[in-house]
A and B are shown apart, each in its own frame.
Chain A
Amino acid sequence: MISINTAVIDLKRLELMAGGNSPIHALDARAKVLVTFVFIVAVVSYGRYELARLIPFCIFPAVIIALADLPALFLARKIALICPFIAMIGFFNPVFDQTELFRLGHVVITGGWISLVSLIIRSLLTVGAAFILIGTTGFAALCQALERLGIPQLFTVQLLFLYRYIFVLADETCRASRARELRSCDKKGLGVVSFSSLVGHLLLRTWQQAVRIHSAMLARGFVGQFHARRQSRFGVAEFCFVLGWSSLFMTLRLFDISGMIGKMVTGIFP
């Protein structure tokens, strides 16, 4: 249960970062959503054996983290946490895909290994971009931006409630499992029986808590609309931000920049 707790605390920390005061934080959320979207599409659209051409995309997270003054190490650690899951998904690639791509000395590098590594890099890039988006925008502003970009309100409000519900659920889980641990006196808490009743209990409790929070929101004039504290509009800065990054991603996607640089270097030093 500790792990759930830390995961949620991390999520909360990410949310707190969104309160920062950098130029990136000040941008209209819609601009950041659009750029992140283009970034993810560009990264995901590469072929399965692509490696070299993905590397230049690291520049986006690196620049934003630097400009927005986000804790890079913390983010890196959080993003690294997903590596095992990705590896699990791509686990069988090297087994099934035995096509020989090239040799390093006597070692045969098969397509399977390359596609596994490519998958990991692409996942790290996309998840990193999503984290950075939340860390510089905040979830409420993010949902508001989605709404202003034309996603139906019904959907965005659901998303927000789901997000809040995660916190409620995690809090209640921690409380309940602590209560159980403290009273089970090292006997593993009476095993499955008490555990299953704990889970049932939890669902009811979180449900009730969520209802109470909802009524507290209604009591404070909530009518299905979230208002972000930051008032922003889509100005020149936003326009340049979107145009600049998108054209960079397009260029990287359409032309083999890293290949060209490679050729240039090998051309100079034959």
Chain B
Amino acid sequence: MSHHIVEVIHLQHIYPDGTIAIRDVSFRITHGESVAIIGANGAGKSTLLQHLNGCLEATSGQVRIGDTLLSKGTLPDIRRTVGMVFQNPDDQLFMPTVFDDVAFGPLNLGLVGTEVEKRVMDALIQVGAAHLRAKPPYHLSGGEKKRVAIATVLAMTPDILVLDEPVSGLDPFARRQIMTILQEFNHTKIFTTHDLNMVLELCQRTIILHEGEIMADGPTGDIFQNDVLLAACHLEKPFALQLCPACTGAAGAIKP
């Protein structure tokens, strides 16, 4: 299934004000991979993701989804393949009710009637937001908006899922729910996050972005063992990998 391959080749993005957000990034993600892109604030993660479905145009370099090169002509096809959840759910929700908003994508895909309704309800149930369907999106809490935003993309049944900070601002239960959804989605998925414990649980592969460049790209386990690298990129080893203070000598000092 070469369709689910994401390939970025020497990508560079310079914003109109001169900020170089992405310097020179290349990677290749194959079918079924689950990849986390991590890095400090302003490292260029959101900018990078927005190239994957053509929301931003590269200053130079290429993006390939499957066998197709991303360009003006192939954009509609690529957007059908790549489902994208933005960092700020307010950017994503614009219809009068939650139901209408989730239905927007399937309707654009040409579906009608009960098929649309089924897709919408399935997606809403998956993210645990079915009870919100009649509410207007602007009356939701931040976390609820986030869940609905994820549902809007799931309802389009994309082949590749791209999420920008899917669990930021969610309560532990909702975070777990989203993680389960991601685990069950067995096509290619790419997401950014500051939640490194989640990365450890969900991703075999991690890419560290630092000031618009890839600092590391490899198995998650290896990367999180490299303290020097993590510190250089403003990251911290996940708790799950830190040695328990109670079991080491540090605890001895506390004991009476």
Which residues on A are within 8 Å of B, measured CB to CB? 12, 15-16, 18-19, 138, 140, 164, 167, 171, 209, 212-213, 215-223, 225, 227, 229, 231
Contact present for B55 and A15 (CB under 8 Å): no
Q: Are A213 and B104 in contact (CB under 8 A)?
A: no
Q: B116 contacts A219, CB within 8 Å?
A: no
A-B contact pairs, 5 of them (CB 8 A): A12-B96, A215-B55, A217-B104, A218-B79, A220-B79
- Complex interface: chain A residues within 8 A of B86 (CB): 212, 216
Query: Do the beta carbons of B96 and A220 come within 8 Å of each other?
Result: no
Residues on B with beta carbons closer than 8 Å to the beta carbon of A171: 90, 138
Q: Which of B80, B97, B103 gathers the greatest number of chain A CB atoms within 10 Å?
A: B97
CB pair A222 B94 closer than 8 Å: no
How far is the CB of A164 from the nearest CB of chain B, in Å?
A: 6
- 1/0 per residue, CB under 8 A from A, across B145-179: the answer is 00000001100100000000000000000000000
Among A209, A221, A222, A223, chain B packs the most CB atoms within 10 A around the CB of: A221
Interface residue stretch chosen among B106-114, B195-203, B216-224: B106-114
Judge whether A221 and B156 touch: CB under 8 Å.
yes
Number of residue pairs across A and B with beta carbons under 8 Å? 69
Chain A contacts for B112, CB-based, 8 A: 231
- B100 proximal to A (CB < 8 A): yes
Instruction: Known pairs A220-B79, A220-B156, A229-B103; list 7 more (Cβ under 8 Å).
Output: A19-B97, A213-B92, A213-B94, A217-B104, A219-B84, A220-B108, A229-B100
Bound CA–CA A217/B134 (angstroms):
20
Q: Which residues of B contact A (CB under 8 A)?
A: 50, 53, 55, 75-76, 79-80, 83-84, 86, 88, 90-92, 94-97, 99-100, 103-105, 107-109, 112-113, 116, 134, 136, 138, 152-153, 156
Residues of B near A167 (CB, < 8 A) are 94
Return the contact of A209 from the options B91, B96, B99, B116 (Cβ within 8 A).
B91
Closest Cβ–Cβ distance, residue B188 to chain A (whole Å): 17
Q: Which A residues lie within 8 Å of B109 (CB)?
A: 221
CB distance from A219 to the nearest CB of B (A): 5
- Interface of A (DSSP majority class): helix
Most chain A CB neighbours (cut-off 10 Å) among B53, B104, B152: B104
Given contacts A216-B86, A219-B55, A220-B156, contact A15 B96 (CB under 8 A): yes
User: CA separation between A239 and B124, bound complex, in Å?
Assistant: 38
With A16-B136, A229-B100 as contacts: A216 and B116 at CB distance below 8 Å? no
Bound-state CA distance A229–B115 (Å) is: 12
Residues of A with C-beta under 8 A to B99: 229
Which residue of B has the minimal Cβ distance to A216? B92
A18 adjacent to B105 (CB under 8 Å):
no
- Return chain A residues, CB-CB under 8 Å to B100: 229
**Given known contacts A138-B96, A209-B91, A229-B107, A219 and B138 CB-to-CB distance under 8 angstroms:** no
Per the bound structure, the CA–CA distance linking A37 and B75 in Å amounts to 40
| Complex contacts, B90 vs chain A, CB 8 Å | 171, 209
In the complex, what's the smallest C-beta–C-beta distance from A138 to chain B, in angstroms? 7
Of the residues B92, B95, B108, contact of A223 by C-beta under 8 Å: B108
Closest to A221 in B: B108
**Is the pair A221, B138 in contact by a Cβ cutoff of 8 Å?**
no
Q: A219-B53, A219-B84, A229-B116 are in contact. Are A19 and B96 (CB under 8 A)?
A: yes
Contacts of B96 in A (CB 8 A): 12, 15-16, 18-19, 138
Contact across chains for A221 and B91 when beta carbons are under 8 A apart: no
Contact between chains at A221 and B76 (CB < 8 Å):
yes
Kindly state the separation between the CA atoms of A16 and B156 in the bound complex, as whole angstroms. 24
Q: Considering the complex, give the chain A residue whose CB is closest to the CB of B153.
A: A220
Q: When the two chains form the complex, which single residue of A12, A222, A223 contacts B136, counting CB atoms closer than 8 Å?
A: A12
Which B residues are CB-close (under 8 A) to A212? 86, 88, 91
Whether A218 contacts B94 in the complex (CB less than 8 A), given A223-B108, A227-B108, comes out as: no
B161 CB, min distance to chain A CBs, angstroms: 12
State whether A231 touches B138 (Cβ < 8 A): no
Which residues of chain B have C-beta atoms less than 8 A from A216's C-beta? Answer: 86, 91-92, 94
Q: Is the CB of A220 within 8 A of B105?
A: yes
Residues of B within 8 A of A18 (CB): 96
Give Cα A135–Cα B99 distance, bound, in whole angstroms: 18
Q: Are A222 and B113 in contact (CB under 8 A)?
A: no
